[in-house]
Amino acid sequence: MRTTVDIPDLLYRRAKAKAALRGETFKRFLLKAVSNELKKAESPTGNRLEGPLYANREPLVYTGEGLSEILQDDDRALLG
């Protein structure tokens, strides 16, 4: 599909230069940028903690507030 987008001159020149430094076309650079933004928008709001934290393999999802409480509890346990 074709579309027309108005991009400020300075932003266009910077993006085109960055694409050239990477050895790719402006079109490819723009498609990757849009794709990356869509991926970020679709990611969950909590942060995923992965790794061998526990025996089960399910990733744990914590919000910033939940993680903060866990860290504060750890601090209290260490500091008494």
Residue 4 lies in a domain: no
Please give the residue that has the higher pLDDT: either 77 or 30: 30
Residue 35 lies in a domain: yes
Span 60-77, mean pLDDT? 80
Span 9-22, mean pLDDT? 93
The domain tally of the chain equals 2
pTM of the complete model beyond 0.85? no
Residue 1 lies in a domain: no
53 in the same domain as 37:
no
Residue 25 lies in a domain: yes
Tokens of 33: 């940028």
Span 24-52, mean pLDDT? 81
Q: 40: number of CA atoms within 13 Å, CB side?
A: 6
Provide the domain limits for residue 25.
Answer: 9-42
Residue 2 lies in a domain: no
Burial 52-80 (b: 16+ CB within 10 A, else e): eeeeeeeeeeeeeeeeeeeeeeeeeeeee
Burial label for 49, CB within 10 Å (0-12, 13-18, 19+), is exposed
Please give the residue that has the higher pLDDT: either 39 or 30: 30
Span 54-77, mean pLDDT? 76
